[in-house]
Amino acid sequence: MRRALAILAALLPLPVLAQGQAPQLSVEFAQDETLPGQPLVLRMTVLVPTFLPEPPVWPAFDAPDLRVRLPARATNPVSGRVGGATWSGVSRRWQVTPLAPGAFALPPARIEVTWADPEAPGGPPLRAVLDTPALPFRAVVPEGAEDLSPFLAASDLTLERAVEGEPQGMAPGEALSVTLTARIAGASPMLLPPLGAAVEIPGLAAYPDDPELVETEDRGRLGGARTERLSLLAQGGGAGELPAIALRWWDLDEGRIRTAEVPALAISVDGPPARAAAPDPAARLRLALLAGAGLAAALALAWLARRAAPGLRARLAERRAARRASEAHAWAGLRAALRARDGAALRPALDLWAGRVAGDPRAEPSVQAALLALGAARYAPGATGEAASAWRRLSAALAAARRAHPPRGRGAAREDVRRLPPLNPA
């Protein structure tokens, strides 16, 4: 089913402005049904009779099991004929991708528009808020693909395994590197499930790397690759195999199920079985000493805080007020969301912190890649075991971004801190 929506709306702050000169908003959402993992295109266009001295403030769409992204060159200047006159404006395009089957809806939102007053050239600009409608749609699994689990639709998908080293007749101390790569066209690699299951082969220690996701875009069409690397270290005699892998997927071009697969890989280590390492009796003693030292430090801090409490209350209140408006406070909130692995709190906390530093750390390639990996861990079926690794990767990327993006007005903030008395004058 196809449809086109066109909405003309404006809430103007000046009643003297003629209604025919109100900003106009058009919303185009040409389709209301797609396959899970396949994007729909949403386009919104704002036109004004003069010009836009500031870009519109567009809504940030977000909903469970839904990915909304801006493709390359998503925002462009436009012009159009309105009432016989040429109006100027801007158009923005989103890709809306359901990550699971079901019914969805983009909720109503608002666009803030600032444009030059046609009645007072050079004067203060006018402002308006344009309302967008709710946009319902569905993601439906095609007939014949009901037994695909997970459902994965693409125009092409390949799976390959690369081996560095000799898997047969290894000697203790030798290493083997195995790389699995799935390449997909016509869908995001974040939808790919984990490729290799955890393995236990006698005589071998396994060290898996974090999965790598690389997303590409070619004229609005998504693709990319998921790479998993496994290092195997021979420790003693033993034998086993890495199992065969088969990934079933729906071919968008041919309308049928296809399978990408790699065969099993036999591995053996010559020599006697490895002996288990004896436990370290000193480890418990070290742990007990550390715990005791921590408890003693906590008690000492509590005693000092109690003695200094009367003189600290006013200074603490002053510092708390300043801290709530600081980059450090926003960073602490972001760190709390990362530690709790709270997906709902992550985006608001990230946006708040990004607004208090120079530049936009969300545009850092490492941060975008980490968010993509986290999305894959959250939404790709069977990838829940990778969530912890994805959260750690995002924490590291944000920590690096913080070093590259100093707080706004850092000099003024340092001056405010210098004017405050020391927290602990002792």
Do 35 and 120 sit in the same domain of this protein? yes
DSSP-assigned letter for residue 109: E
- 426 residues of the chain, pLDDT tens digit each: 444 443 333 333 333 334 458 999 999 999 999 999 999 999 999 999 999 999 999 998 888 899 999 998 999 999 999 988 999 999 999 999 999 999 999 999 999 999 999 888 888 999 999 999 999 999 999 999 999 988 999 999 999 999 999 999 999 999 999 999 999 999 999 999 999 878 899 999 999 999 999 999 988 899 999 999 999 999 999 999 999 999 999 999 999 999 999 999 999 999 888 765 455 667 677 777 888 788 888 887 777 767 766 666 666 667 666 777 788 888 888 989 898 888 878 888 888 888 889 888 888 888 888 888 888 777 665 555 678 888 888 999 999 999 999 998 644 344 333 333 443 333
Domain boundary among 139, 165, 190: 139
166 and 243 together in one domain? yes
In a domain, 293, yes or no: no
Q: Is residue 194 one of the residues assigned to a domain? A: yes
What single letter denotes the amino acid at residue 294? G
Q: Are residues 111 and 164 in the same domain?
A: no
Does residue 131 lie within any of the structural domains?
Answer: yes
Last residue of a domain, one of 84, 114, 139: 139
User: Virtual CA dihedral for 159, 164, 165, 167, nearest 10 degrees?
Assistant: -10
Together in a domain, 415 and 385 = yes
Q: Are residues 134 and 159 in the same domain?
A: no
Residue 135 sits in the same domain as residue 157 = no
Find the DSSP H helices in 157-280.
none
Task: Specify if 299 maps to a domain.
Answer: no
294, two tokens: 């921590």
Pairing of strands 204-208, 238-242: unpaired
Q: Which residues pair with 46 in a beta bridge?
A: 25, 90
Residue 146 in domain:
no
What is the domain range of residue 40?
19-139
Give the residue among 55, 50, 58 at the shortest CA–CA distance from 123: 50
pTM for this entry: 0.63
Q: What is the CA radius of gyration of the chain?
A: 29
| Buried-state track 309-322, b at ≥16 Cβ within 10 A, e below 16 | eeebeeeeeebeee
The tally of domains found in the chain comes to: 3
Do 335 and 393 fall within a single domain?
Answer: yes
Angle at 32 (CA atoms; ends 30, 35), nearest 5 degrees? 115
C-alpha dihedral sign at 412, 415, 421, 426: positive
Q: Which of 238, 269, 300 is the last residue of a domain?
A: 269
- Helix residue spans in 78-179 (DSSP H): none
Q: Is residue 280 situated within a structural domain?
A: no
**One domain, residues 257 and 330:** no
In a domain, 227, yes or no: yes
The closest alpha carbon to 99, from 144, 155, 34, belongs to 34
Residues 164 and 259 in one domain: yes
CA 287 to chain centre: 37
Whether residue 12 is contained in a domain is answered as no
Residue holding tokens 């797609």?
34
Do the beta carbons of residue 268 and residue 239 sit within 8 Å? Answer: yes
Which 3 state secondary structure label does DSSP give 375? Answer: helix
Residue listed under structure tokens 């296809």: 258
* Judgement on whether residues 119 and 203 belong to the same structural domain of the protein: no
- Which pair of tokens denotes residue 282? 């000193």
263 close to 244: Cβ distance less than 8 angstroms: yes
CA distances to 41, 99, 142, 401 from 38, rounded to whole Å, are 10, 8, 12, 31
Measured from the Cβ of residue 342, the count of other Cβ atoms closer than 10 Å reads 12
Domain shared by 129 and 218, yes or no: no
What are the distances in angstroms from CA 142 to CA 34, 155, 254?
9, 15, 12
Q: Which residues does residue 29 pair with via DSSP β-bridges, in sequence order?
A: 42
Dist CA 290 CA 284 (whole Å):
10
Q: How far apart are CA 346 and CA 349, in angstroms?
A: 5
Residues 161 and 250 in one domain: yes
Q: Are 234 and 167 in contact (CB under 8 A)?
A: no
